[in-house]
Structure 1
Amino acid sequence: MIRESVRRSFRPAAAVAAVALTVASARVVSAQQPAPRGSGSAIEGTVRDVASGRPLANAQVLIVNSTLGAATNENGTYRIANVPVGPAVQVRVRLIGYGAQSKTVAVTLGQTARADFDLQQSALQLDQVVVTGTGAAVETKKLGNTVATINTEDLKSAPIQNPSELLAARTPGVQVLPSGGTTGSGARIRIRGNASLSQSNNPVIYIDGVRADNGGSSAGGASNSSRLEDIDPSSIERVEVLKGAAAATLYGTEASNGVIQIFTKKGSQGPARWTVDLSRSAITYPDRVAPNAGFARNQAKADTLGRIFGLTLQPFQPFEYNVTKQLWETGFNNTASASVSGGAEKVNYFVSGRYEYEDGPFTSNKIANPTDVKADLAQDLLKRNQATVSLNVLPTDKITIGFQTHYTVFRLDGIQGQNSIYSPYAESMYAKPDSASCNGPDGKHSLDYIGGVARCQLTGNPFGNSTFTSLRESVQQQAYQDGTHYTGSLSARWAPQEKLNLAATVGLDNTDVRAVSYYPFGNNVDLISTQAPLGTRSVNDLRTQNVTVDTKGNWTSRLGSAFESQLTLGAQGYMVTQKSENGSGRDFPGPGLAVTGAGATQSSSEGYIRVVNAGYFAQEQLGFHNWIFGTVGARYDYNSAFGESAGGVLYPKLSVSVVPSDRGGWNWTTLSSLRLRAAIGKSGRQPGAFDKFTTYAPLNASTGSGLVPDNLGNPDLKPEVTTEIEGGFEAGLFSNRAQLSATYWTRTLKDALISKQFPVSGGFSSRQLTNIGRLDAHGIELALNGFVVNRANFAVDLFANGSYLSQKVVSLGGAPPIKVQGSYVRIRGFIKEGYTPGALFGVKIFQPCSSYRNPATDAKGGCYQAGETPYDQNRDGKPDTEAQLRAVLANPINPTNLVLLRADDDGNKLFDDHYQGKPFPDWQGAFGGNVRLGKAWRLANVFEYKAGHYTISDLTDSFRNASPTLGRNRIEAARVEATLLNPASTADERFAAAQQWLGLVALSPYDGYNQNKPGDFVRWREVSLTYTTPHAFASKIGARELSLVAAARNLVLWTRYPGTDPEVNYNGTSNSLSSAQTDNNFYEASDVFGLPIPRRFTFSARLAF
């Protein structure tokens, strides 16, 4: 549903654009006209590094105040044709990593002028041009807020397969959260933590000015894929990241999470340039999943297990067998891409295509029988075809028309992901080898060894899966996604004269994904699973469309000799429409039927969501002598999700930037450049599309259909508003060979949307979203980079960055604490006043009194003295003495029957509310560098880290250590249980085992205990070695350049975390239009039967023609 006020908001938006045109046109009358172009006139030259003399490729050479320009080739040369004739034509060159430089040359009719440039390396890039929402390119030094820029030119050799990997470890404050180690699983992106408690925290994504789908999708419980990954990384020229409200105010509602702007490559004047990239990768899992362990209770079982696993065993002798590795193989990825770019005076173009095929490191082959059809089993495959076209037309000197389009077709076959009891990986970790048997429920026995792996040729349980399903049954599911993703934009820019720039963009982003989950008839091949033995199939179609309309006008003028002004007026609107259609069928009459209509039980559903946002904005930027800059602006927004009485919302901004080093007389060498900056701004986040409405749900009965109360509704619902203040500096050191930047920011989220329970006497029992909460946060961002050595045949540059984050829930407006994952007790994250959102709470066991400084005040919940234990076998509420415990342990005992004393420090009769950590680290960042040897060799490294009170919820090992039915299958737990149960064990041996049990016991009634563990880590994220062959060798195959690259990703992990991987997360990217986002926001750092992040070894060849 769309409010009429939102429909009307497009009219004033158009009026604003008309006003901008009218005001600008009034000023054009007295403007000076540009010099005419000269037929045959040109400028050419060479761009080199001043220190080493190396030619510099891909430098952007522009004619100031025109649309003309060119890029240097591998020899550092350029040529710009048909330039304006005149005695003082200004030429400017920019290149990432170097200081900008300008020259003035005289151009005569029909002649070629020359302008050579010797650029000096500069770690500080204050002259870098960025786009900030106004539509006008602006130098970084004029902004009071930070805009991080990631340029892909220096990352051509990095082992990057998708845009998420492009963003990872590049800039402080941007966190990329992988959801798992399976092929095609998408990552979530967080900028400066969380800006909402209940709504999506995904940043807004723009591709060439068009708002894009920033959500994800999954099939049949498989890991979520992300629509961000649909973008071809080789087509990206640069990424700009606006961090938070102070930077993203002009983007309006939803921009409080930050904005990611992706700019794809465009052509430039000159002959066609071709590039071809070919790569082959090997993908392997690191050995971080502990083997399965067990023991036989008697000699007969020991003999049976010995035959299955090829061992000689005795009763109560623990042994190990790694079941998970039976699902692993070496995966591979083949990627091929090609592009061509070029242009003439009036037209430039860029066209690229990319093909990717990945068969991941999961396999069903090792556990399947020879009669199984491999294509019908679970697999991890990714097929993706991508195309990009960019066309820019300059019909006149004053008009530029651009057309950009991106199209992706993909197919992703996945497997059920984390926390699914039917997932192959969960079943492999649940497996208890001591329960293995090839005596099926039908009484038949059949054991064989194929490829060295024991298999039951008939029904059976060769790995010891005790509940839910067998490992072989778990791979019967097929889960896949088919989809297309199209993004297209048409933009026009009109510069009637030098001072005025008018621009408009219209674009469409459309995704269409079909997700299918299918269990065939008779999938319970081991007669264990009862989930759907007769088969089931579900089909979910999801179509998401984003329409963007954006108009802007910029007027730049001088106010006397001291001041420069840039006034921006604009209007922007977007409309998001999402349609879903779902159908399922269960219990097929026989094999070979794989359509939902064949099921005995069928169901269907559909959904429709439309959200419209429209706003208009104004901004004035004033500069004084080109070293002091002030900016003031505001945006006024309407949104269809706002309540009827809420109206619109105003988001103001104010910033200042001072560059004292640009003032005359600054001659310091050590502190070569300095910029001081500060900014304040507001942005918001709208509620869900239907949260404001009072709704009723259908109720079907044998007597007919009816309605029941569903959503209470709230006509006063308004956006939650974030106010962010940031301040900092950039300093260029040692002639700008090094740069140090620092930012401190603070953020207040008011009117936070919280689900509150209202009296159910009105018939509405569900919670209603209300603006009652508050979330505060602050942080620090630091970055240091520099060129240590720069010689003709040797160069070294290094970088390091880090960001600190602190978040606190100030108020829930009277609502009780909100538990992540609802009533599921084993997930221990809470949104609770006074704590970090998602903070972990759980049971605390009695600790030694000697571990407290003052037990009387510090151990209010209880402790035990010397000679006592934390056990309470007689259940008198007091610690048992060692003698009492030894008496109990004189006989065999199951660990389940050992009773531990739980502390109650606050005396509220609750044992599971002790704070145990937070899922967000205090610090995260990266460090690394590049080494260049001669002209041919280049070595690049990136290391990433998280540290400081970073806590991971390790449910995997909690189950594997403590669950009597699904676990106790790690070697430590198996030894403890074997010792306690073995009649031959002595009381002393059992007592020692009971002490070891204190470090393993978990799960109810000890939820949280031994579950939340330190997760600090350092990971060798990227390494690449590039060899550029001599030109003579490349020319033999018709190429102007040939580079060979050997690279690796996620090569080494250093961590104290004992679980699978400190980066694994249960949740992936979800549908961002859903209003229920609490779990997706704060169910982080959760290791729930996930897989380690795989290593990827890549060899590639890159050719340029």
Structure 2
Amino acid sequence: MNLNKYLWICALMIGISSGLSAQFTVNGTVTDADNGDPLIGVTVIVKGTTIGSVTDLDGKYSLEVPGESGRLELSYVGYGSKVLDVTKANPVGDLKMTSSTSTLDEVVITGLATTVARRNSANSVATISAKDLTEVSNPQTFEGALQGQFNGAEIKSTSGAPGGGFSVRMRGVTSIFGNQQPLYILDGVFLNNSTVSSGVNVVTAASGGGNTATNQDDASNRIADIDPEDIESIEILKGASAAAFYGLRAAGGVVIITTKRGKAGRSNVSFSQTFGTIRPITLLGDRDWDASEVEAIGGPDALAEFNAGSFTDYEKEVYDNTGLNSTSRLEISGGNSKTLYKFGATYKNEDGIVENTGYEKASFRLNLNQKVTDWLDADISTNYIDSRSDRGLFNNSNTNTTIGYALAFTYPWENLQADDNGIYPFGGAGSNVLETIDLITNREDVDRFIGGLTANARVFTNEKNVVKLVGQAGIDQYSLKNTGIFPQELTFFRDESTLGGAIIDGRTNSLQTNLSLFAVWSAYSSSGVSFTTTAGVTRESSEFNNTNVIGTDINGSETNVDQTANISAAQIRRGFINKGFFVQEEVNINDKLLVTVGLRGDKSQNNGDANELYFFPKANAAINIHEYDFWSSETVTTLKPRIAYGESMRPPVFAARFNSLAPAAVPGPGGANSGLQTQSTKGNPDILPETQSELEFGADIGFLNDNLVLSATYYIKTIDDILLRAQALPSSGFTTEWRNAGELQNKGIEIAVDYRAVQTEDFSWTTGLNWWQNRSEVTRLDIPAFNTGGFAASLGQYLIQQGQPATTLSGIIPSNADVSTSELDGIGILGDTEPDFQLTWRNSLNYKTWSLDFLWHWKEGGDNINLSTLLYDLAGNTWDYDDTGLDPSGALTNGDYRLSVFGADARPWIEDAGYIRLRNVGLYKTFKMKYSEGRSTLKLGVSAVNLINIFDYNSYDPEVSNFGGNVFANAIEVTPYPSSRRLNFHLRANF
């Protein structure tokens, strides 16, 4: 053998043998520090390497550590991360882990395929646990469970109707005409959160007045379908730097939802049952009538009823009811080292506070985790939802037909009860609210399937490198059926000039898909520096088809739309395909300096140029100053300044680049022929997407071994190329046209304090404060200032004007009014829907087997346009009509004063919408079953939602929106379904 070759082989063998000898085996057991139970599935990693292990069914693990010593990092969901130093001389790796109480111990998402410990994150990311969502109270819907749980967002209920209705806006206004809702991602599936109009406008004619928007019919949004009981945790990505890699729909932020998964070991069965009552938050009461007022409005017959004492409080008749709700939940989970499973089923049934309204939902979920081979894992997530919502008839109406609208014009001396034949009398409002409640149907039926698949393939692994390929596929498909039945015997149809009854058959089919493929390379150096490189491509698509078939002039008591004399149909079809790519590099230098840079490219069919690729960078950095050797403070145990920058975009609204066509009768030989005509808004083939950039500064500071953690963030968010409807040239033949014509900016502060105040063997108390504030400004406007939203300047509208907040409310004012004026003639600046600030205070107290949790929410300032008061005033029916205090001269009552300035001064309709609210509170007692050695438990409790509500707002609840949640102008009230408080009793058994 060649001598050189022989020497090389010998040297190689010596190197291998020495390398093999320079390692040792660590064996250990990981247990729960509270009860001593083994923890299954704890991840154990040798720091600075890819060497790792996972604890088995007995909590045991074993791994090889190179060298003479090493440091192990142990992490487990719901527990604080731990570090354990081991040596060859002492290779025992036993450890007890305690439940995580420091927010810095959480792991947060940094990209489509990567995560990082919060203590190393350069972004402000909020997290919400399963306990916060469902184990304190029983939320009405998923979005209701989010209220008050994190800072930097305005989450408001837009309707008290069963089935919910919510608006979520993160870090201020991000668009005027575009959808501002965040992107919801459930186990990798991009969810549809659309709101579909029910078609009841054919009866209410709500869009026939001062506002032509068709979204005034109190429809629910589809994120309400998601079952909070399925959820393990939620992460909120508010800033562009954190959300940028999620594509074109992430400009409003991202809500990442992770559902519960199975764990290896014995099977676990859990059953829970909640029963509760639903009551209105408040009733406003009736006007304090006297004989002269009754006679002036109702005449001698009304006076006779008054003198006889036969008044009926119709507000109580309609709203002062007790609804019942129940939620039943079954969970089965378990698995082994190869397969994990989790099955969950929920049945929810609740009555509304208005008769014949309610919500019913059944949700079934099956999650599977399969270790296909040593290098390939697959996670499957499936969810089927079937729901029905009867929402009544509320909000605006120009025909006096909605329940709230008609109630405003209903007087207590009227007799609205049905006679012995079931025939209802006419009401003074032109409709009989009791009859409307009894006879109409306004129903949403939803069938929905959500499915996701994630495959992780480790294509290369050695001691210092891991390369994996990750593929994700998601599908979200739902069908929605809207059923509206308005019988011809309704009093508002008895006039021959009306519709003669109406039947609405609405069908919506929606399909969304998302596909992603990315590669992740994690590299570790012996010096403690690690690199994580991610690159990938994404594709999203959506198909939406809505048809409404409407029949009027019903034949007898028929409920089929084909049994009507007049049939019309309308259809809306829209869709998109978005494609993108991204690259990202994360560098971690010994957990001291963390730097991330990335680039995303996107294109969309909705852009003016559907093939143009737009590029959006991101970068962030964080320094853990406390990790440096010079830091020795025992008081400040964590000090991390951070900075982040990112860009994203929002495509133009659907079809903004086209001239829309509508059916029209075209004169021709033999009479009118069907044809098409252009609508009033001109499309723009060169339209650009709205682009968003955000710079975020912040710091995370931990005191006293991180028992007290302070996080503070300041951000500047700029949205350029704002999409607006500008006035078109008269010669164009159009009234308005789509243009990129402005820029707006949001600046805000977010502060969070988490404090583990007490931690003993029997008692613990953790508390937390969130405080946040946002200020917006239209920094550039290339067209004249204008009003938008609302109904008319005499009632209050939104003002878009350079130098003013985008949430400014304006309206007509008298010439001598002491208010700031706008650039519009005779229009004053009257308010701002943006809160001055918001603050939440949450507490969790545990004493032995008792627990008490509660959450307070304080919203200071922020205005609404309250048009319910106007309607009651016009009827002389307002609860505070005879009170005084509004008229500066003191001569007029409140009602008379408001009417005296109606049409000349919009200020009476602008109201402070601030509040202090006990969002939720829960008290529970846990019993451990002796026969199961404490593994089986029974938990009993009582909880409440909206138990205490303090506000001066002159209606049922300042959280309200006549136009739903997915719109810019979401602070306008017109006779809504009142909000409710809930009292619940809970039982939960775990086996």
TM-score, structure 1 as length reference: 0.79
- Structure 1 pair 214–437 and aligned structure 2 pair: CA distance change class (3 A): closer
The alignment's C-alpha RMSD in Å is 3.4
1:686 pairs with 642, 647, 651, which one? 651
Moved more, 215-224 or 790-799: 215-224
The aligned counterpart of 1:633 is 598
2:285 pairs with 276, 284, 290, which one? 290
Q: Compute the displacement of 1:79 (Å).
A: 2.4
Q: Compute the displacement of 1:123 (Å).
A: 2.6
The aligned counterpart of 2:867 is 955
**Aligned-partner Cα distance in 1 for 2:796–2:176:** 17
The aligned counterpart of 1:337 is 329
The aligned counterpart of 2:209 is none
**Aligned-partner Cα distance in 2 for 1:969–1:57:** 67
**Aligned-partner Cα distance in 1 for 2:396–2:489:** 24
Q: Compute the displacement of 1:59 (Å).
A: 8.6
Amino acid corresponding to residue 577 of structure 1 in structure 2: E
Q: Are 2:877 and 1:969 equivalent residues in the alignment?
A: yes
| Equivalence map 1:417-496=2 (5 Å) | 417-420=394-397, 421-433=400-412, 436=414, 459-461=424-426, 465-467=428-430, 471-473=434-436, 475-495=438-458, 496=460
Whether the 8 Å contact between 1:303 and 1:312 is mirrored in structure 2 is no
Whether the 8 Å contact between 2:281 and 2:949 is mirrored in structure 1 is no
1:937 pairs with 831, 834, 850, which one? 850
The aligned counterpart of 1:588 is 554
| Equivalence map 1:969-1008=2 (5 Å) | 969-974=877-882, 993-994=891-892, 999-1001=897-899, 1004-1008=902-906
The aligned counterpart of 1:851 is none
Kindly provide the CA deviation profile for residues 220-266 of structure 1, in whole angstroms up to 9, marking residues without a partner as x. Answer: 36522121121111111111111031211111223121011111111
The aligned counterpart of 2:521 is 555
The aligned counterpart of 2:42 is 61
Whether the 8 Å contact between 1:135 and 1:503 is mirrored in structure 2 is yes
Q: Are 2:641 and 1:673 equivalent residues in the alignment?
A: no
The aligned counterpart of 2:588 is 623
- Structure 1 pair 328–527 and aligned structure 2 pair: CA distance change class (3 A): farther
| Equivalence map 1:388-787=2 (5 Å) | 388-420=365-397, 421-433=400-412, 436=414, 459-461=424-426, 465-467=428-430, 471-473=434-436, 475-495=438-458, 496-497=460-461, 498-524=465-491, 527=494, 531-532=498-499, 534-558=500-524, 561=527, 563-591=529-557, 593-644=558-609, 647-701=612-666, 702-710=671-679, 712-763=682-733, 765-787=734-756
**Aligned-partner Cα distance in 2 for 1:743–1:31:** 51
Instruction: Report how many residues are paired.
Output: 932
1:326 pairs with 318, 330, 338, which one? 318
Whether the 8 Å contact between 1:193 and 1:805 is mirrored in structure 2 is yes
- Structure 1 pair 103–349 and aligned structure 2 pair: CA distance change class (3 A): farther
Moved more, 643-652 or 573-582: 643-652
The aligned counterpart of 1:812 is 781
Whether the 8 Å contact between 1:616 and 1:637 is mirrored in structure 2 is yes
**Aligned-partner Cα distance in 1 for 2:880–2:657:** 53
**Aligned-partner Cα distance in 2 for 1:467–1:1102:** 50
Amino acid corresponding to residue 165 of structure 2 in structure 1: G
Q: Compute the displacement of 1:609 (Å).
A: 1.3
Q: Compute the displacement of 1:680 (Å).
A: 0.7
Whether the 8 Å contact between 1:60 and 1:93 is mirrored in structure 2 is no
Whether the 8 Å contact between 2:441 and 2:484 is mirrored in structure 1 is yes
| Structure 1 SS opposite 2:554 | coil
**Aligned-partner Cα distance in 1 for 2:907–2:421:** 38
| Structure 2 SS opposite 1:829 | strand
The aligned counterpart of 1:22 is none
Whether the 8 Å contact between 2:617 and 2:646 is mirrored in structure 1 is yes
| Structure 2 SS opposite 1:748 | strand
1:789 pairs with 745, 758, 769, which one? 758
| Structure 1 SS opposite 2:632 | coil
Q: Compute the displacement of 1:748 (Å).
A: 0.8
- Structure 1 pair 903–743 and aligned structure 2 pair: CA distance change class (3 A): closer
Amino acid corresponding to residue 714 of structure 2 in structure 1: Y
1:1061 pairs with 936, 940, 957, which one? 957
Whether the 8 Å contact between 1:290 and 1:322 is mirrored in structure 2 is no
2:228 pairs with 224, 229, 233, which one? 233
Whether the 8 Å contact between 1:1001 and 1:1010 is mirrored in structure 2 is no
**Aligned-partner Cα distance in 1 for 2:794–2:496:** 25
| Structure 2 SS opposite 1:216 | coil
Q: Compute the displacement of 1:523 (Å).
A: 2.0
| Structure 1 SS opposite 2:512 | strand
Whether the 8 Å contact between 2:287 and 2:882 is mirrored in structure 1 is no
Q: Compute the displacement of 1:1081 (Å).
A: 1.4
Amino acid corresponding to residue 937 of structure 1 in structure 2: W
Give 5+ residue unaligned stretches, structure 1: 1-29, 36-40, 72-77, 314-318, 364-378, 439-445, 449-454, 846-860, 863-901, 978-988, 1071-1079
Calculate percent identity across the aligned residue pairs: 23
Kindly provide the CA deviation profile for residues 623-657 of structure 1, in whole angstroms up to 9, marking residues without a partner as x. Answer: 22221011111101111111138722100011111
**Aligned-partner Cα distance in 2 for 1:743–1:412:** 40
Q: Compute the displacement of 1:511 (Å).
A: 1.4
| Structure 1 SS opposite 2:892 | helix
The aligned counterpart of 1:1041 is 937
- Structure 1 pair 267–70 and aligned structure 2 pair: CA distance change class (3 A): farther
- Structure 1 pair 113–494 and aligned structure 2 pair: CA distance change class (3 A): farther
Q: Compute the displacement of 1:1062 (Å).
A: 1.6
**Aligned-partner Cα distance in 1 for 2:779–2:847:** 54
The aligned counterpart of 2:4 is none
Q: Compute the displacement of 1:968 (Å).
A: 1.6
Whether the 8 Å contact between 2:340 and 2:369 is mirrored in structure 1 is yes
Whether the 8 Å contact between 1:745 and 1:780 is mirrored in structure 2 is yes
Kindly provide the CA deviation profile for residues 87-112 of structure 1, in whole angstroms up to 9, marking residues without a partner as x. Answer: 899865446775310347799xxxx9
Kindly provide the CA deviation profile for residues 361-397 of structure 1, in whole angstroms up to 9, marking residues without a partner as x. Answer: 212xxxxxxxxxxxxxxx2121111011111111222
The aligned counterpart of 1:1051 is 947
**Aligned-partner Cα distance in 2 for 1:998–1:91:** 76
Which structure is higher in strand share?
A: 2
**Aligned-partner Cα distance in 2 for 1:144–1:96:** 21
Whether the 8 Å contact between 2:477 and 2:510 is mirrored in structure 1 is yes
The aligned counterpart of 2:120 is 142
Give 5+ residue unaligned stretches, structure 2: 1-14, 21-25, 201-215
Whether the 8 Å contact between 2:689 and 2:721 is mirrored in structure 1 is yes
| Structure 1 SS opposite 2:906 | coil
Moved more, 835-844 or 628-637: 835-844
- Structure 1 pair 310–738 and aligned structure 2 pair: CA distance change class (3 A): farther
**Aligned-partner Cα distance in 1 for 2:271–2:894:** 59
| Structure 1 SS opposite 2:251 | helix
**Aligned-partner Cα distance in 1 for 2:81–2:103:** 11
Q: Compute the displacement of 1:154 (Å).
A: 5.3
| Structure 2 SS opposite 1:79 | coil
**Aligned-partner Cα distance in 2 for 1:401–1:254:** 26
- Structure 1 pair 490–90 and aligned structure 2 pair: CA distance change class (3 A): farther
Amino acid corresponding to residue 390 of structure 2 in structure 1: D
| Equivalence map 1:59-458=2 (5 Å) | 61-64=42-45, 65=50, 69=54, 79-80=58-59, 92-94=73-75, 99-103=80-84, 115-119=94-98, 122-125=101-104, 127-153=105-131, 155-161=133-139, 162-219=141-198, 220=200, 222-297=217-292, 304-305=301-302, 308=305, 311-312=308-309, 321-363=313-355, 379-420=356-397, 421-433=400-412, 436=414
**Aligned-partner Cα distance in 2 for 1:1006–1:380:** 39
| Structure 1 SS opposite 2:270 | strand
| Structure 2 SS opposite 1:133 | coil
**Aligned-partner Cα distance in 2 for 1:465–1:58:** 69
Amino acid corresponding to residue 958 of structure 1 in structure 2: L
Kindly provide the CA deviation profile for residues 296-333 of structure 1, in whole angstroms up to 9, marking residues without a partner as x. Answer: 448797874476568459xxxxx883534434311011
Amino acid corresponding to residue 761 of structure 2 in structure 1: A
Amino acid corresponding to residue 493 of structure 1 in structure 2: N
**Aligned-partner Cα distance in 2 for 1:504–1:905:** 56
**Aligned-partner Cα distance in 1 for 2:759–2:489:** 67
